[in-house]
Amino acid sequence: MDPLTSFYSVMDPLISFYSVIYPLISFYSVMDPLISFYSVMDPLISFYSVMDPLISFYSVMDPLISFFSVVDSLDDEVVLQCSATVHKEQQKLCLAAEGFGNRLCFLESTSNAKNVPPDLSICTFVLEQSLSVRALQEMLANTEEKAEGKFMMKTAQGGGHRTLLYGHAVLLRHSYSGMYLCCLGTSRSSTDKLAFDVGLQEDTTGEACWWTIHPASKQRSEGEKVRVGDDLILVSVSSERYLVSL
């Protein structure tokens, strides 16, 4: 018997058992205890582990795909939906964006979801950060004296479940593109000087990507928790204007 295998056999009786049954598996088990664990759990994975280490890697990683899905779902994800009258019909619309060739946001209809399923992957935003307006102002004041890279690292530490309160400022990251919902500096509207375009940008520099949340119903007040299904108003921190569809 291979002295190296023998050494590990003494150290781990479970590996020793499989060393007798599958000497070749034993060799790979010694080389990688993680493969050894999966070899014991599933001989079929063990077989592929021996045949192709790359397949083994994906075999071991495959259960982790669902794990990373869970990790992603640990972020608070929101869909911004509004109701509007279009051609005398009430429709439900979601704020959506592609973020690559076209960074401007648009509205995705969800009213006829049974017949025409909406693409919700482009409508989902991650609640990257949530903090009071005062804390936001202090943070922005401090970042003016620091490098942009340090600011990016700081904001990247957001995510995860958090309590969202009315009156707080939020940073929303588009799930599909990884860019941030922002108030663009220019507007395509030539008739309304108060109008502004909403789109995506790659960094979080300045106030353009921050929005304050306010209740649209008198049943909620500033400082209360935002609940799923609440009607709310988003106000741009940089322009102090409402986010509305025109």
pLDDT in tens, 56-106: 333 333 333 333 333 345 678 999 998 888 788 888 899 999 888 788 999
Q: Which of 152, 160, 147, 161 is nearest to 180 (CA)?
A: 152
Give residue 46's domain range. 3-72
Q: Does residue 145 belong to any structural domain of this protein?
A: yes
Q: Does residue 245 belong to any structural domain of this protein?
A: no
Domain count, the chain: 2
Q: Does residue 63 belong to any structural domain of this protein?
A: yes
> Token pair of 32, please?
């990688």
Q: How far is CA 163 from CA 97, 132, 170, in A?
A: 26, 12, 11
Domain of residue 213, CATH code: 2.80.10.50
pLDDT, tens digit (0-9, with 9 covering 90-100), for 111-170: 887 788 888 899 999 999 999 999 999 998 887 666 455 444 344 444 456 688 999 999
Range in 37-51, 114-128, 218-232 the model is least confident about? 37-51
More confident residue, 188 or 72: 188
Instruction: Give pTM, 2 decimals.
Output: 0.62
Q: Does residue 243 belong to any structural domain of this protein?
A: no
| 36 and 129 part of one domain | no
